[in-house]
Amino acid sequence: MHKIELHGVVKRFGQNTVCDGIDLTVEKDQMVCLIGASGAGKSTLLRCINLLEPIEDGEIYLDGEDISIPGLNPQRVRAKIGMVFQNFNLFPHMTAFENTMLAPKRVQGLSKSQLKSEIEELFERFELADRMHNYPDQLSGGQQQRVAIVRALAMKPEVMLFDEITSALDPQLVGDVLDVLLKLKSQGMTMVLATHEMQFARQAADKVCFLKDGKIIEEGSSEEIFGTPKRPETKAFLARALK
Amino acid sequence: MSKRILVAAVSLALMATNTIAGGHCAADKTLTAGKFTIATGNPAYYPWVLDDAPESGQGFEAAVAYAVAKEMGFAEQDVVWVRSSFDEAIQPGVKNFDVNMQQYSITAERDQVVDFSLPYYTAPMAVLVGASATDTKPTIAALKSLKWGAVGSTTAVQKIASIIQPTNDPLLYGDNADVNAAISANQIDGAMFDLPTALFLSAVMIEGSKVIGQFPAASSDNADQFGMLMEEGNPLKACVDEALTSMINSGSLASIEAKWLQDTTGVPLIK
Amino acid sequence: MPIPEAAGMTRRERYEQKQRLKSLLIAAASTVCVIMALVILVPMTPGWEKVQKSFFDGTVLAKTFPKLLDAFTVNVMIFTWSAPAIAILGLLIALARDAKSPALFPLRIFGAAFTDVFRGVPVILTVYLIGFGIPGLGLPRPWNSPFIWGSLALVLTYSAYVAEIFRAGIDSVHPSQRSAALSLGLSERQVMRDVILPQAVRNVVPSQMNMLIALQKDVSLLSFIGPVEIFRQAGVFKSLFANFTPYVGAAIIFLIVTIPATRYADYLMARQMRERR
């Protein structure tokens, strides 16, 4: 059984078809990178998997269960699928610790005392212990993004979705955040990334999918895609992206 | 018949104009030469002015106005009516009327800012109660326990505070209509008005209400006396007073009062 | 302002100091000119003495001021119980207007109608209508008190405005905050309560401060239906003394309260502008 399986997923915004019949499988503990030009549909695809966008057609399976049935309560699914965004989206009126504690407290009904040591340990692991009680505007971009990752991890998700999480960062801060992803991968986490970091995708991805105009037009291992791309569009894109 | 009256009025008017030109007291002292401008409320109420039409001369103040005008040598058509509010009347500065008649109580404080004529009416204060309090006895003791209301700009406020000294703070309103509404809504039991106003409100405006008593007008040193209001230092005052004095002496003022305010009898005195 | 040694300053600092001194002098001179003009010219006008006596009579002010202060406690009282009710009702109306579930559609319609009606009708009419109208239906005392129904009229009117401000506040929170909260598995209600509302409320504090100041003044409208608050008390004194000074006294009391509140609201507004930049 695949961890995640997409069949013919279609997403439209009005007349504009953003995902145009996407098939994708993600295995357990696999890191899948979605690459492609801006507007190719990478971010929307991630939002569809997290049920933030209802899909027009097709099915999405999580552990073999169809989670795209219209009318299904998305909360239970989202609790299993963590997501991190390009602009961090930390809650500005809460400290890093409070940001992290909110969802476990509300969704799983745990108390602060039950959560405290666990969350402290997470902050420790991602070298944020001294920043735990700071508000988002007191943190650098890289720190904010790492807090956002910690916040998603606190829900103990089975799958993590990363939506261009380094795009809003200063170049010197990108490395810290990517290191976190490698750490997660080494600990065994199923991950889907939309990314522009080609070097990172080449090194770390188990599988790379190239999207264009809402379709996956080529997919394969990172060696295949970066070493011997078959489609001319992929070649052209990589030539520009790796320049 | 109407034609004959018209002719008579016109010739009377001509005579009147002649009298003024002939050096009557009011000559050159009015706002507009040859015209006597009188202000009244907006609207003006029964029984002071009937149907809000002072031009008809119907109602106590309208009748007094025309009688005074005649005494001063103005013809009926030389009387010009304007409308004004209390505030307009006591603002410093130039007035748009010669005299203002809308039941202005003469007080020492007001007299420092504006001029008053001699009183043309001494109004007893009366107590009007709503349907739920019509059994109240006309005694000070009984009135103390009522919930009182009054128009905030009138001397009734002081009377309630000094004579009745009610147990509850009175509620105050902007005009008679609002006091009516409060009585109708049973938010207050009673309100103090001058007797004619109280009778009018009871008869026409507030269903089930009753005028249960009046304070003796003469015995109380602060009985309300109504005077015509004029701009401070208006030279016309002497002429108006002269006219009123002659009307008081001839008994014509008393007969106007009897004609328009005769209903005022039949309300018991408050003990 | 400490003036550092000229020698220790850069060319630019010296220039800026000169400019500052120059504008300070100009500002001082023009202020003095305006005040002098007012102090000298106004009393020279022909009507000044009459106006002074009618509006600025010291003896009348001294006689009436303590009682005006007494009456002002009525304003404070009405304000104190109305303001929290307005905040709560305003928030509920704002949430009703944002309700998404179809079962709550009537609530949404109600919220929209409520804000349309009460923002469209002059406050004084609402005060009259509710203050006299509802007790007129035959409520027993003390339930027909003008304090209760007059306050309700203020609460309804102000809630309509406050609701719109809250709604603007809710709209001002970026949709990505909602996405982030939903992606963590929070329900719509939890997202609203824990993530959107706290930010929305904080964003609109300065605007709501201005509503409080406006309410503070509009409490006086209740005087039309009976309560003897400061405005009515001043009116009684005005009639008694045939003098407008009591109104000036009332205005002074209002200003003592509203000026600091207005300054504070402006300060909050300015701080927010800085933070957004």
Indicate the residue type of A17.
Answer: T
- The per-residue pLDDT for B17 is 47
Name the residue facing C180 among A74, A75, A85 (closest C-beta): A85
Please indicate, yes or no, if residue C14 is contained in any of the structural domains. Answer: yes
Give the pLDDT band of residue C2 (cuts 50, 70, 90). Answer: low
Looking at residue A161, the DSSP 8-state letter turns out to be: E
pLDDT band at A33 (very low <50, low <70, confident <90, very high): very high
**C93, C167: one domain:** yes
Q: For residue C48, give the DSSP letter.
A: H
Do A31 and A3 meet the contact criterion of CB atoms below 8 Å apart?
A: no
Å between C208 CA and nearest CA of chain A: 19
Site from C183, C190, C197 to mutate, A interface, most A CB atoms within 10 angstroms: C183
Question: Judging by beta carbons within 10 Å of its beta carbon (0-12, 13-18, 19+), is residue C17 exposed, middle or buried?
Answer: middle
Residue C234 lies in a domain: yes
pLDDT of residue B264: 47
Task: Locate C174 and state its tokens.
Answer: 């970026």
Pair (C113, C170) in one structural domain: yes
Average pLDDT rounded to a whole number, residues B86-112:
83
For residue B220, pLDDT over 70 is answered with no
Give domain status of residue C161, yes or no: yes
Let me know: does B77 contact B232? Beta carbons within 8 Å. Answer: no
Is the peptide bond preceding residue B43 cis, with omega within 30 degrees of 0? yes
Whether C17 and C143 share a structural domain: no
Identity at A70, one-letter amino acid code: P
User: Rounded mean pLDDT of C271-275?
Assistant: 77
Report the residue from B93, B109, B188 with minimal CB separation from C242.
B109
Within this chain, do residues C199 and C251 fall inside the same structural domain, yes or no? yes
Q: Are residues C180 and C237 in the same domain?
A: yes
Contacts 24+ apart (CB under 8 A), B46-49: B46/B200, B46/B204, B47/B196, B47/B199, B47/B200, B47/B260, B47/B261, B47/B263, B48/B101, B48/B102, B48/B103, B48/B196
Q: Which residue has the higher pLDDT, C195 or C270?
A: C195
Q: What is the pLDDT of residue B266?
A: 61
Work out the burial of residue B217: count CB atoms within 10 Å of its CB; fewer than 13 is exposed, 13-18 middle, 19 or more buried: middle
Residue among B91, B178, B185 minimizing CB distance to C135: B185
Q: Which pLDDT score, from 0 to 100, does residue C137 have?
A: 86
pLDDT in tens, B67-90: 999 999 899 999 999 998 877 787
Do C182 and C252 lie in one domain? The reply is yes
In chain A, where are the structural domains located? Answer: 4-241
Interface test with C, best of B172, B176, B180 (most C CBs within 10 A): B172
Write out the two tokens for B103: 């039941």
* Contacting partners of chain B (3+ CB pairs under 8 A): C
Of B155, B150, B161, residue with least CA distance to C239: B155
Q: Which residues of C27-45 are buried (b: 16+ CB within 10 A; e: fewer)?
A: eeeeeeeeeeeeeeeeeee
- For residue A75, the chain C residue with the least C-alpha distance is C185
Domain boundaries, position C125? 61-276
Give the integer Cα–Cα distance in Å for A142 and A173: 5
Asked whether residue C21 falls in the same domain as residue C150, the answer is no
Residues of C with CB under 8 A from a CB of A: 176-177, 179-187, 190, 194-195, 198-199, 202
Single-letter amino acid code for the residue at A195: T
Q: Answer whether residue B4 shows pLDDT above 70.
A: no
Within-domain flag for C181 = yes
Of residues C70, C5, C24, the one with CA closest to residue C228 = C70
Provide the greatest CA pair distance for chain C.
Answer: 84
Cα separations in angstroms, B44 against B41, B62, B78, B127:
5, 10, 20, 21
pLDDT tens digits along A5-30: 999 999 999 889 999 999 999 999 99
Give the integer Cα–Cα distance in Å for C270 and A126.
37
In-domain check, residue C141:
yes
How far apart CA C141 and CA B145 sit, in angstroms, is: 14
For residue B1, pLDDT over 80 is answered with: no
Name residue A215's beta-bridge partners.
A212
Residue-wise pLDDT tens digits, A97-126: 999 999 999 998 888 888 899 999 999 988
Single out the residue of C158, C132, C32 nearest to residue B174, CA to CA: C132
Q: For tokens 């209508």, what's the residue? A: C129
Find all residues with CB under 8 Å of A183, minimum gap 6, and list them.
A125, A126
The yes-or-no verdict on residue B21 having pLDDT over 60 is no
Q: Distance, in angstroms, between B102 CA and closest chain C CA?
A: 14
- The answer on pLDDT for C147 being more than 60 is yes
**High-pLDDT (> 90) share of chain B, %:** 35
Q: d(Cα C75, Cα C212) in Å, to the nearest integer?
A: 13
Q: Determine the Cα–Cα distance for residues A194 and C149; give it in Å rounded to an integer.
A: 60
Distances (CA, A) of A137 to A77, A88, A132, C30, C181: 30, 12, 13, 43, 18
User: What is the C-alpha to C-alpha distance for residues B244 and A130, in angstroms, rounded to an integer?
Assistant: 95
A15 Cα to chain C: minimum distance (Å): 22
Which residue would you say has higher pLDDT here, B215 or A122? Answer: A122
What H or E segment, with its residue span, contains residue B118? Answer: strand B114-123
CB atoms near residue B107 (< 10 Å) = 19
- How would CATH label the architecture of A4-241? 3-Layer(aba) Sandwich (3.40)
Residue C97 lies in a domain: yes
To the nearest 10°, the Cα dihedral for A50, A51, A53, A59?
Answer: 110
What's the confidence (pLDDT) of residue A60?
Answer: 95
Q: ipTM more than 0.85? A: yes
CB atoms within 10 A of CB A228: 10
Asked whether A181 and A204 are in contact (CB, 8 A), the reply is: yes
Which residues touch A5 (CB under 8 Å, ≥6 apart)? Answer: A24, A25, A26, A60, A61, A64
Q: What is the DSSP string of A124-160?
A: HHTT-GGGTT--GGGS-HHHHHHHHHHHHHTT--SEE
How many domains does the structure of chain C reveal?
2
Residue B209, φ and ψ in degrees, nearest 5: -85, 170
- Measured CA to CA, the distance from residue C153 to residue C124 in angstroms comes to 9
Q: Are residues C24 and C82 in the same domain?
A: no
**Host H or E run for residue B171:** strand B171-173
Q: What confidence tens digit (pLDDT) does each residue in C39-84 have?
A: 888 888 888 888 888 889 999 999 999 999 999 999 999 999 999 9
Domain architecture of chain B: domains with CATH: 2-122+226-264 (3.40.190.10), 125-214 (3.40.190.10)
Q: Do C25 and C117 belong together in one domain?
A: no
Under DSSP, the state recorded for B269 is B
A243 three-state secondary structure: coil
Measure the N-to-C terminal CA separation of chain B; round to a whole number of Å: 52
Q: What is the CATH number of the domain that holds C134?
A: 1.10.3720.10
- Do C36 and C149 fall into the same domain? no
Name residues 41-70 of chain A within 8 A of C (Cβ).
Answer: 47, 50, 52
C100 and C156 fall within a common domain: yes
Quote the tokens at residue A166: 């380094």
If asked whether residues C158 and C32 sit together in one domain, one would say no
B86's CB contacts (< 8 A; 6+ apart) are B102, B153, C239
**Does B173 touch chain C if contact means CB atoms closer than 8 Å?**
yes
List the 152-211 stretch of A: residues with Cβ below 8 A of C. 152, 155
